[in-house]
Amino acid sequence: MFRTVNLVGVSTVALGIAFLFVVTAPFAAAQKTLDEARQVAAYSLSMENVTRYLQTSAEVRKECKTDPDLARRFQEYGSTSHSLDESLAWFKATPKLVAASKEHGISPHDMVLTQAAFLAAIQVGAALENGTKEAPQDPDSQILWASVSRDHLKLLNDHAAEIAKLQAALAQAPGDK
């Protein structure tokens, strides 16, 4: 399905996977079914929303360091998987997350779908780069791979340097230890 995708530049992004999971750890994968995966794949992922998503995630991560209740809420949420609708409802019920996303100009809906599409594209892009030619046959991998479109992978390729620079800046964010 993805054999013709040019992955030049994804390695730069793939190197940042560990960082991304630290920044975005509170947000568990949202797609649970193939229908939801198709919804994520159809989502128009933009660099503007990726930037806003990463900025919001970094802010919330810092907020969790000073707010034990918020950190506990994220930890409890992240310990299980959720549907897109469940993720959106949880997001909307978390006032500090709503405030942070509003401050960075991204809606709860776009935050959830950007997170799902971006992280899936990074994982699948890294697998493709490492020689995997198709999705493994287990159900979770099938859902993950179905969540990624060529446009999502192209965004990673086209903006690899920008994403790496943003990751580096967010990793060095003031007050973050």
Residue 166 inside a domain? The answer is yes
Give the global pTM.
0.82
Residue 5 inside a domain? The answer is no
Which residue type sits at 51?
T
Task: Specify whether the CB–CB gap between 88 and 108 falls below 8 A.
Answer: yes
Residue 3 inside a domain? The answer is no
Structural domain total, the chain: 1
Residue-number span of the structural domain to which 140 is assigned = 10-171
Q: Which of 15, 57, 18, 30 is closest to 156 using CA atoms?
A: 15
Tens of pLDDT along the chain (177 residues) come to 343 344 444 443 443 443 444 444 444 455 689 999 999 999 999 999 999 999 998 888 889 889 999 999 888 887 778 889 999 999 999 999 999 999 999 999 999 999 999 999 999 999 998 899 888 898 888 999 999 999 999 999 999 999 988 887 777 655 544
Which residue type sits at 19?
F
Residue 136 inside a domain? The answer is yes
Residue 177 inside a domain? The answer is no
